[in-house]
Amino acid sequence: MFSGKDTGLFILRIGMAVLLILHGINKLIHGIVFVKESLVAHGLPEFIAYGVYLGEIVAPLLIILGYKTRLSAAVVFINMLMAIYLVKMGDIGSLQATGAWSLETPFLFLLISLVLVFTGGGKYALTKGKFGD
């Protein structure tokens, strides 16, 4: 029953989305001042910062449900591009003390969301084969 590509996509969707939601919850609790300041420092309007809630809470919840997975994953992908651009670009060539690449976490979210953009949510999703999934 649970084997193959669809089970893999289900596990990938749930794992990535749950981990990303934790980042979003942290921003709900502690605010997004840092995001606003990063945007302004790069010459962008600070109201864009509220998009972090779409990319780290709303879209991941939709990905868990498998509702409009491709569209939701595209939102996460854009969110991760912005996070890398705003916060991590200076670290692109550096490693952490453990040997891990400094961009490892956002880059993994970026790659997983890109995979979901191309594959959709799979068989265990609310919307299968419809627009946005």
**3-34 per-residue burial string, b: 16 or more CB within 10 A, e: under 16:** eeebeebbebbeebbeebbebbeebeeeebee
**What does the pLDDT average to over 63-92?**
93
Spans of all domains in the chain? 5-88+97-119
Tell me which of 20-24, 85-89, 126-130 is least confident.
Answer: 126-130
Of the candidates 118, 120, 127, 89, the residue with the CA atom closest to the CA atom of residue 106: 89
**Interval 26-40: pLDDT, tens:** 999 999 999 999 999
Q: Say how many CA atoms lie within 13 Å of 102 toward its Cβ.
A: 13
Task: Say if residue 79's pLDDT is above 80.
Answer: yes
The pTM for the full model equals 0.91
Q: What is the pLDDT of residue 130?
A: 67
**Interval 101-131: pLDDT, tens:** 988 999 999 999 999 999 999 999 988 776 6
